[in-house]
């Protein structure tokens, strides 16, 4: 393959993969919107609603490790094509479901679409040089904006035809996208780095502490993104008494930047390094989530002039602005975490990204259930943000103690180099 041919194909692969991932993510987040009328029809409580929305996330997370390994072995083109085709029938069948367990079981099969991330990431990354991998993976990861696409499309379809039409439209869209992806993408046999390597050897990287550290970071920035994307429409409906269309539109103010701006995170990571970008992201989230965590509060303060009634809480506008900031931070953080992976595990990107993606996906599965359980237990809707605030605190502490020795070693090397240069100047 000539250099010019390779350059043309790599951009075609990136565009096709990003579009395919966007469709997959749209389907993966489907219950965030159609789950609301289903909840009303079936009379579900908050915990049951959380489980309903999270069920596709479970399988989409669990399959990420084997899919990443198969991508290393067989190439991303064939794996992603087959994966997309495998979800078409389960998506269509959701429109015929009537019982709660029907939705849970079908949700497990639909969730396979979420595994597309651990296929596309190594597939795209290997078409680009190391200096461009962060940007390439960031552009591909912008397919997370499918969460916002779902919030634009599903409410319109529900208003016009009812929720049962949504799975049918999504099934047709998935089939057409699978065919388009096959004809727009390419295969390079030299990218199959996992061929001839045992599964055990590919999974040996689990002994590396860095994998677990990056998994924790990703469970916050991606798991939190998925969890909130599934939860926010209902949050707006119940907290601010909005109809589903307006609630979905405002929720998209979080989902859209949280997906599209991932490319910006890749560029920043290439330019400034994964550590600096991730560290900054965590601090931004720490501040914003602290403010979002404060519940609507009414209090009476005894003053010298008598009782003073006060109400403290976020109205819909500042709430949405803070969510917009969190969405941007999560988008950048998702890209910076995978820049860590491409830097440290360039020969095993598929397997490592599968493990890290699994951790992030499981975070996205567990969080909506915990959001519902906390709401049922406390009755405080902002408890979901309190939980996320706690996870960010864990990340900041872990990052500090993990990278402090490296920073100290770098400082010692720098001081030693300055001494050597000074001594050379005196001679």
Range of the domain at 318: 3-193+202-426
pLDDT band at 426 (very low <50, low <70, confident <90, very high): low
Q: Is the pLDDT of residue 209 over 80?
A: no
Q: Is the pLDDT of residue 328 over 90?
A: yes
pLDDT band at 137 (very low <50, low <70, confident <90, very high): confident
Cβ(335)–Cβ(273) under 8 Å? no
pTM, two decimals, is: 0.76
pLDDT of residue 421: 58
Least reliable range by pLDDT among 1-5, 241-245, 262-266: 1-5
Q: What is the mean pLDDT of residues 257-261?
A: 82
**For all residues of the chain together, what is the average pLDDT?**
84
Within its chain, how far is the Cα of 148 from the centroid?
A: 12
pLDDT of residue 329: 94
Cα 76 to Cα 191: distance, rounded to the nearest angstrom: 9
Least reliable range by pLDDT among 238-247, 322-331, 408-417: 408-417
- HEC profile for 97-161? CCCHHHHHHHHHHHHHHHHHHHHHHHHHHCCCCHHHHHHHHHHHHHHHHHHHHHHHHHHHHHHHH
Tell me how many domains the chain contains: 1
pLDDT band at 4 (very low <50, low <70, confident <90, very high): low
Which tokens is 337 given? Answer: 């975490």
- Main-chain phi, psi angles of 295, to 5 degrees: -75, 165
Q: Which residues, including other chains, have CB under 8 Å from residue 219's CB and lie 6 or more apart? A: 359, 360, 362, 363, 391
Q: What is the mean pLDDT of residues 333-349?
A: 78
pLDDT of residue 203: 59
Cα 371 to Cα 358: distance, rounded to the nearest angstrom: 20
The single-letter DSSP state of residue 99 is: S
pLDDT of residue 423: 60
| Span 44-63, pLDDT tens digits | 998 999 899 989 988 988 88
Q: Is the pLDDT of residue 108 over 60?
A: yes
| Span 408-424, pLDDT tens digits | 554 555 455 556 655 66
What are 308's strand-pairing partners? Answer: 301
pLDDT band at 212 (very low <50, low <70, confident <90, very high): confident
Cα 406 to Cα 143: distance, rounded to the nearest angstrom: 34
Helical (H) or strand (E) element with 414: helix 383-426
Q: Is the pLDDT of residue 196 over 60?
A: no
Question: How many residues are given for the chain?
Answer: 427
Q: What is the mean pLDDT of residues 247-254?
A: 91
pLDDT band at 404 (very low <50, low <70, confident <90, very high): low
Helix, strand or coil, per DSSP, at residue 381: coil
55 against 211, higher pLDDT = 55
Looking up residue 154, the CATH number of its domain turns out to be 1.20.1250.20
């Amino acid at each position: 393959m000539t250099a010019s041919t390779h350059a043309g194909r790599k951009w075609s692969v990136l565009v096709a993969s990003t579009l395919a991932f966007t469709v997959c993510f749209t389907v993966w987040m489907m219950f965030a919107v159609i789950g609301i009328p289903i909840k009303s029809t079936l009379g579900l409580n908050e915990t049951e609603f959380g489980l309903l929305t999270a069920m596709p996330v479970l399988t989409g997370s669990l399959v990420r490790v084997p899919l990443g390994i198969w991508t290393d072995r067989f190439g991303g083109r064939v794996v992603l094509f087959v994966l997309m085709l495998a979800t078409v029938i389960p998506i269509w069948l959701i429109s015929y479901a009537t019982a709660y367990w029907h939705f849970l079981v079908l949700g497990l099969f639909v969730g396979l679409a979420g595994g597309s991330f651990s296929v596309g990431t190594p597939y795209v990354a290997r078409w680009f040089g190391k200096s461009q991998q962060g940007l390439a993976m960031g552009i591909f990861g912008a397919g997370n904006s499918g969460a916002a696409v779902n919030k634009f499309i599903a409410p319109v379809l529900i208003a016009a035809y009812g929720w049962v039409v949504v799975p049918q439209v999504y099934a047709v869209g998935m089939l057409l996208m699978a065919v388009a992806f096959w004809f727009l993408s390419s295969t390079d046999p030299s990218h199959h780095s996992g061929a001839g390597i045992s599964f055990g050897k590919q999974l040996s990287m689990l002994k590396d502490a860095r994998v677990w550290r990056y998994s924790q970071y990703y469970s916050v920035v991606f798991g939190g993104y998925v969890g909130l994307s599934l939860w926010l429409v209902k949050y707006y409906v119940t907290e601010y008494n909005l109809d589903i269309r307006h609630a979905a539109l405002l929720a998209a103010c979080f989902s859209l930047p949280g997906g599209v701006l991932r490319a910006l995170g890749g560029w920043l990571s290439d330019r400034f390094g994964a550590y600096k970008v991730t560290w900054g992201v965590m601090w931004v989230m720490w501040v914003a989530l602290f403010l979002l965590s404060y519940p609507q509060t009414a209090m009476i303060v005894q003053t010298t002039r008598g009782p003073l009634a006060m109400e403290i809480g976020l109205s819909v506008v500042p709430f949405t602005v803070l969510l917009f900031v969190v969405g941007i931070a999560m988008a950048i953080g998702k890209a910076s975490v995978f820049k860590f992976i491409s830097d440290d595990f360039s020969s095993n990107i598929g397997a490592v990204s599968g493990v890290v993606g699994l951790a992030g996906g499981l975070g996205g599965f567990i969080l909506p259930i915990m959001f519902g359980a906390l709401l049922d237990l406390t009755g405080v809707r902002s408890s979901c943000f309190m939980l996320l605030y706690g996870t960010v605190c864990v990340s900041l502490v872990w990052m500090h103690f993990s990278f402090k020795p490296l920073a100290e070693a770098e400082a010692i090397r720098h001081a030693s180099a300055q001494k050597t240069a000074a001594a050379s100047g005196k001679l």
